[in-house]
Amino acid sequence: MARKLKKGYFVRGQFIAEGSELDLEYKRELKGGDEPTRTDLKKESAELQKLGEDLLNLSADPMAKLALPDRLVEAVAEAKRITNFEGKRRQMQFIGKLMRQLTPEQHEAIRAALHAQHTPSRQETALLHHAEKWRDQLVANDDAVGQWLNLHPATDSQQLRSLVRQARKDAKPEKPGEAPRHGRAYREIFQLVREALESKDANATEEDAE
């Protein structure tokens, strides 16, 4: 007995059976309506699930400013405490479900808070550039070491001079024509300079406030 063929049609070489999910989705697309397709809904769900996972990395202050529902805040806090892989996976699914209950405006507010947290401020960027400039000057010029110590007398001069000597030693290429290398001392000078500049900026801010 011959097998009865399913009713349907082909779209770009793919057979779509009448009444199937693909059939319903394709007909919705043909109508041009605003109703989201199943694919759209799955994509949106995955995006909100990822956004919920990113919430775990948001600091406490911006998290509080979002004024999210208590259930979601508690769920995020609980997810941070869970170490079991399967338990964590189930908790993240629950967070994804709560995320889908938020408004589009709340979703955008979360994205904005995450973006702001990962984008350094203009002041932070300027401080980093300032620290990089001082580091390069210290390694390249003995006079810069004296200038730095005059401006920042709290600096351990013996430690700084030792790091500068080591950074210069590390920078010497092993073979002629090779580019200068930067070792651990070079990075530690940057860290020392940055912390000193940050401390100076913080003290200046406190004095201005007084």
Query: Over the stretch 130-168, which tens digit does the pLDDT of each residue have?
Result: 999 999 999 999 999 999 999 999 999 999 999 999 999
Place of tokens 């860290």: 191
Domain covering 122-209, topology: Diphtheria Toxin Repressor; domain 2 (1.10.60)
Place of tokens 């702001």: 116
Look at the chain and count its residues: 210
Query: Predicted confidence band at 205 (pLDDT cuts at 50, 70, 90)?
Result: very low
Domain covering 37-118, topology: Diphtheria Toxin Repressor; domain 2 (1.10.60)
Q: How many Cα atoms within 13 Å fall on the side-chain side of residue 125?
A: 5
pLDDT at residue 4 in the model = 53
Q: What is d(CA 126, CA 142) in angstroms, rounded to the nearest whole number? A: 24
In the chain, the amino acid numbered 193 is: V
Give per-residue pLDDT as tens, 73-100.
999 999 999 989 999 899 999 999 999 8
Q: What is d(CA 137, CA 119) in angstroms, rounded to the nearest whole number? A: 27
- Which pTM was predicted? 0.46
Query: Predicted confidence band at 22 (pLDDT cuts at 50, 70, 90)?
Result: confident
Mean pLDDT value across the chain? 83
Where, residue-wise, is CATH 1.10.60.30 in the chain? 37-118, 122-209
